[in-house]
Amino acid sequence: MSIEIIVLAAGQGKRMHSALPKVLHRLAGKPLLAHVLAAARTLAPRRVIVVHGHGGAEVRAAIGDAGVEWVDQAEQLGTGHAVMQALPRVSPDAEVLVLYGDVPLVRADTLRRLADAARGGLAILTAEAPDPAGYGRIVRSSGGRVERIVEHKDATPEELAIREVNVGFLAAGAAPLGQWLARLKNRNAQREYYLTDVVAHAVAEGVAVNAVKAAEWQEVTGINSRHDLAILERAYQNAAARRLLEAGVALADLWRLDVRGELECGRDVSIDVNCVFEGSVRLGDGVRIGPNCVLRDVSVAAGSEILAFSLLENAEVGARCRIGPYARLRPGAMLAEEVHIGNFVEVKASRFGAGSKANHLAYIGDAEVGSRVNIGAGTITCNYDGAAKHRTVIEDDCFIGSDATLVAPVRLAKGSYIGAGSTISKDTPAGELTVARARQITVPRWKPPRKG
- Helix (H) or strand (E) run with residue 97 in it: strand 95-100
82 binds, among ligand UD1, Ca ion, none (CB under 5 to 8 A by kind): ligand UD1
* Candidate residues 31, 78, 353, 415; the one interacting with ligand UD1 per rule CB under 6 A: 78
Q: Which of ligand UD1, Ca ion, none does residue 173 bind to, with CB < 5 to 8 Å depending on kind? A: none
DSSP 350-399: -EE-TT-EEEEEEEEESEEE-SS-EE-TT-EEE-B-SS-B--EEE-TT-E
| Residue closest to ligand UD1 when measured from CB atoms | 136
Q: Using the rule CB under 6 A, is 102 a contact of ligand UD1?
A: yes
Min separation Cβ 103 and Ca ion, Å = 9
| Residue 226 φ/ψ region, left for φ over 0, alpha for ψ in the -120 to 50 degree band, beta for the rest | alpha
Based on the shown chain and the rule CB under 6 A, indicate whether residue 151 belongs to the binding site for ligand UD1: yes
Distance CA 177, CA 86 (A): 12
Q: How far is 204 from 302, CA to CA, in rounded Å?
A: 64
Distance CA 318, CA 305 (A): 10
Please tell me whether residue 283 binds ligand UD1 under the rule CB under 6 A: no
| Pick 80 or 222: Cβ nearer Ca ion | 222
Minimal distance, residue 366 CB to Ca ion, in Å: 51
Residues 335 to 394: which contact ligand UD1 by CB under 6 A? none
**What long-range pairs does 354-361 form, CB within 8 A, spacing at least 24?**
354/318
Q: Which of 25, 47, 81, 322 binds ligand UD1 (CB under 6 A)?
A: 81
User: CB of residue 76 vs Ca ion: minimum separation in angstroms?
Assistant: 12
> With respect to ligand UD1, which residue has the nearer C-beta, 149 or 400?
149
Residues between 195 and 254 with contacts to ligand UD1, criterion CB under 6 A: 195-196, 222
Does residue number 370 form part of the binding site for Ca ion (CB under 5 A)?
no
SS (H, E, C) 50-66: EEECCCHHHHHHHHCCC
- Measured distance CA(361)–CA(378) in Å, rounded: 5
Cα(122)–Cα(415) distance, integer angstroms: 77
What Rg, from alpha-carbon coordinates, does the chain have?
31
Query: Is residue 169 at the binding interface for ligand UD1, with CB under 6 A as the rule?
Result: no
What is the DSSP code string of 308-344?
A: TT-EEEEEEE-TT-EE-SS-EE-TT-EE-TT-EEEEE
DSSP-derived 3-state class of residue 88: helix
| Distance, CA of 6 to chain centre | 24
Of 224, 196, 221, 222, give the one whose Cα is nearest residue 211: 196
DSSP symbols for 55-121: THHHHHHHH--TT-EEEE-SS---HHHHHHHHGGGS-TTSEEEEEETT-TT--HHHHHHHHHHTTTS
Which is closer to ligand UD1, CB of 82 or CB of 410?
82
Site string for ligand UD1, 20-59 (x = CB under 6 A): -------------------------------x--------
- Work out what residue 73 binds among ligand UD1, Ca ion, none; the CB cut-off runs from 5 to 8 Å by kind: ligand UD1
- Identity of the residue, 118 or 167, whose beta carbon is nearer to Ca ion in the bound complex: 167
Q: Annotated catalytic residue: which of 52, 201, 360, 390?
A: 360
Binding partner at 398 among Ca ion, ligand UD1, none, C-beta below 5 to 8 Å by kind: none
110 in contact with ligand UD1 (CB under 6 A): no
CB nearer to Ca ion: pick between 166 and 356? 166
Q: How far is CA 242 from the centre of its chain?
A: 18
In 3D space, the residue among 90, 91, 111, 113 whose CA is nearest the CA of residue 100 turns out to be: 111
- Judged by CB under 6 A, which of 3, 5, 8, 84 binds ligand UD1? 8
45 or 222: CB nearest Ca ion: 222
Applying CB under 5 A, which of residues 55, 78, 104, 222 lies at the interface with Ca ion?
Answer: 222
Taking the C-alpha atoms of residue 265 and residue 61, their distance in angstroms, rounded to an integer, is 33
Select from 71, 79, 115, 123 the one that contacts ligand UD1 (CB under 6 A): 79
CA angle 406, 403, 374 (to 5 degrees): 75
As measured in angstroms, the least distance from the Cβ of 302 to ligand UD1 is: 45
| 245: helix, strand or coil | helix
* Residues in Cβ contact with 154 at an 8 Å cutoff, skipping those fewer than 6 apart: 188, 189
Q: Is 78 in the site for Ca ion (CB under 5 A)?
A: no
360 is catalytic: yes
Write down the least CB distance from residue 218 to Ca ion, Å: 15
Min CB(224)–Ca ion separation in Å: 5
Nearer to Ca ion, 53 or 365 (CB): 53
The type of residue at 387 is: A
Residue 135's binding partner, choosing from ligand UD1, Ca ion, none, with beta-carbon cut-off 5 to 8 A by kind? ligand UD1
Nearer to Ca ion by Cβ, of 32 and 281: the residue is 32
Separation of alpha carbons 88 and 68, rounded Å: 15
Q: Catalytic residue positions?
A: 360
Binding positions for Ca ion, rule: CB under 5 A: 222
Binding site for ligand UD1 (CB under 6 A): 8-11, 51, 73, 76-79, 81-82, 100-102, 135-136, 149, 151, 165-168, 194-196, 222
